[in-house]
């Protein structure tokens, strides 16, 4: 069946329906990764967005039961050049189309995604609509709220506290046998692979909703605190920022992606929106403290304004090699640091996993 992609700047592209019938409205962004489409679909940081995949074939290794990064599909929709109808992989249980159809996610294939990506790079991100209901489509798009007007974190955060690595234990005050320490996670759009990576390093996690207070988080007597990734404009998260302020200095703190922007605001900094964001698995980042360059997995549309940081309170520790944007900060005198990219990858390279190790060492050293 014919489907159509409409952009807020007036562009209309015709293709074929993929996934479910109906409308998908969201901010149209692109991801340059060659693999990892299942993880991208289920990454909460993509809430409210339509993802354009630049790689020409998506779905060739199917969908499995192990590579979900949350409990649901988070993207509003997707755009692909070609969706593989007959995937081949021993772990595959269904095709990309079957997953999207089951979960009610509209998508479109048969689109020149490279040309679309070049347009977004030149003009910037814009709202868009994927639909097979052509009549009145432009009016539906124009009446939709802008991506920047919504606060997405409360929509994707957990509704209740839960543990990872506790094996059903209710007592979170001390690590279980075989674990080194306990981590409190403020869930602003958490990916499961972050919890998996900490568990592999002997850390059990207790996950809190984004609305949790500092007292609630500290009630489990954690050895460290994680500010998680997540979607949307960080400037809308005043409550979360206030919580981060209260937590500063109480325990070692590590922020990832949105967590980096939250930590920045907690010390008086600000953020701004990038023209088309960083989304892919090949972004080079230089660590200014040890001089190393790592290839990183990224997914964000906002960045920290370096001019907004008070040098007496925080310092920039990492920079993007491509465009010089801030990729990490360290809060002085508070045992708190953060990075703008995803060290857990999923998808992406494992170069930056060392930052998990460093944070775990901080947690254990201050027990």
Is 124 found in the same domain as 186? no
Is 136 found in the same domain as 190? no
Is the pTM higher than 0.85? The answer reads yes
Provide the pLDDT for residue 174.
Answer: 64
Is 230 found in the same domain as 94? no
Examine the fold and report which residue of 100, 122, 149 is the final residue of a domain before the chain moves on: 149
Is 185 found in the same domain as 105? no
Residues in contact with 31: Cβ distance below 8 Å, sequence separation at least 6, in sequence order:
40, 51, 52, 53, 54, 279, 280, 299
The one-character DSSP state at 353 is: G
Q: Provide the CA 260 distance to its chain's centre, in angstroms.
A: 12
Is 252 found in the same domain as 144? no
Tell me the per-residue pLDDT of 119-170, one tens digit each, with 9 for 90 and over: 999 999 999 999 999 899 999 999 999 999 999 999 999 999 999 976 544 5
Best CA proximity match to 207, nearest among 343, 71, 362, 64:
71
Is 163 found in the same domain as 111? no
Report the pLDDT averaged over residues 180-204.
95
Provide the pLDDT for residue 366.
Answer: 84
Residues in contact with 146: Cβ distance below 8 Å, sequence separation at least 6, in sequence order:
127
Task: Collapse the DSSP code of 344 into the 3-class scheme (helix H, G, I; strand E, B; otherwise coil) and give the result.
Answer: coil
Best CA proximity match to 317, nearest among 287, 352, 341:
287
Angle between helices 238-247 and 258-266 (to 10 degrees): 70
Confidence category of residue 367, pLDDT binned at 50, 70, 90: confident
**Number of structural domains the chain divides into:** 2
Is 343 found in the same domain as 238? yes
Range of the domain at 96: 2-149
Is 82 found in the same domain as 17? yes
Residue with tokens 């990490």, as numbered in its chain? 328
Examine the fold and report which residue of 95, 128, 149 is the final residue of a domain before the chain moves on: 149
What is the C-alpha to C-alpha distance for residues 125 and 9, in angstroms, rounded to an integer? Answer: 10
As a whole number, the mean pLDDT across the chain is 95
Tell me the per-residue pLDDT of 257-273, one tens digit each, with 9 for 90 and over: 999 999 999 999 999 99
Provide the pLDDT for residue 81.
Answer: 98
Is 359 found in the same domain as 211? yes
Tell me the per-residue pLDDT of 66-101, one tens digit each, with 9 for 90 and over: 999 999 999 999 999 999 999 999 999 999 999 999
Provide the pLDDT for residue 166.
Answer: 64
Is 39 found in the same domain as 115? yes
Strands 293-304 and 253-256: what pairing?
Answer: unpaired
CATH number of 249's domain: 3.40.50.880
Provide the pLDDT for residue 65.
Answer: 93
Provide the pLDDT for residue 170.
Answer: 52
Best CA proximity match to 334, nearest among 228, 254, 260:
254
CATH number of 103's domain: 3.50.30.20
Beta carbons of 24 and 107 less than 8 angstroms apart? yes
Examine the fold and report which residue of 101, 126, 149 is the final residue of a domain before the chain moves on: 149
Is 234 found in the same domain as 103? no
Q: Which residues carry out catalysis? A: 257, 342, 344
Handedness of CA 180, 182, 185, 191 (dihedral sign): positive
Tell me the per-residue pLDDT of 303-317, one tens digit each, with 9 for 90 and over: 999 999 999 999 999
What is the C-alpha to C-alpha distance for residues 359 and 83, in angstroms, rounded to an integer? Answer: 40
Is 186 found in the same domain as 51? no
């Amino acid at each position: 069946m014919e489907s159509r992609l409409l952009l807020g700047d007036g562009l209309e592209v015709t293709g074929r329906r993929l996934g479910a019938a109906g409308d998908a409205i969201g901010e149209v962004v692109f991801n340059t990764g060659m693999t990892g489409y299942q993880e991208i679909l289920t990454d909460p940081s993509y809430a409210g967005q339509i993802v354009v995949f630049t790689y020409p074939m998506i779905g060739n290794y199917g969908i499995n039961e192990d590579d979900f990064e949350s409990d649901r599909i988070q993207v509003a929709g997707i755009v692909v050049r070609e969706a593989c109808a007959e995937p081949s992989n021993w772990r595959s249980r269904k095709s990309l189309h079957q997953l999207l159809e089951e979960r009610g996610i509209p998508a479109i294939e048969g689109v020149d995604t490279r040309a679309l990506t070049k347009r977004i790079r030149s003009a910037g991100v814009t709202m868009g609509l994927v639909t097979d209901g052509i009549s009145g489509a432009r009016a539906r798009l124009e009446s939709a709220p802008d991506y920047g007007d919504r606060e997405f974190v409360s929509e994707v955060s957990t509704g209740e506290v839960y543990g990872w690595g506790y094996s059903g234990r209710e007592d979170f005050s001390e690590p279980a046998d075989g674990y080194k320490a306990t981590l409190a996670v403020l869930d602003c759009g958490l990916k499961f692979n972050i919890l998996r990576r900490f568990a592999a390093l002997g850390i059990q996690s207790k996950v809190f909703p984004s609305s949790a207070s500092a007292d609630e988080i500290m009630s489990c007597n954690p050895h460290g605190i994680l500010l998680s990734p997540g979607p949307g404009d960080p400037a809308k998260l005043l409550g979360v920022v206030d919580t981060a302020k209260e937590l500063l200095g109480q325990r070692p703190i590590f922020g990832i992606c949105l967590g980096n922007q939250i930590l920045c605001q907690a010390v008086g900094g600000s953020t701004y929106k990038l023209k088309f964001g960083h989304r892919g698995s090949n972004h080079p980042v230089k660590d200014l403290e040890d001089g190393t360059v790592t290839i990183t997995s990224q997914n964000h549309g906002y960045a920290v304004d370096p001019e907004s940081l008070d040098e007496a309170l925080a310092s920039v520790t990492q920079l993007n090699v491509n465009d010089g944007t801030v990729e990490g900060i360290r809060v002085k005198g508070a045992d708190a640091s953060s990075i703008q990219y995803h060290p857990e990858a999923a998808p992406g390279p494992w170069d930056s996993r060392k930052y998990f190790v460093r944070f775990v060492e901080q947690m254990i050293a201050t027990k």
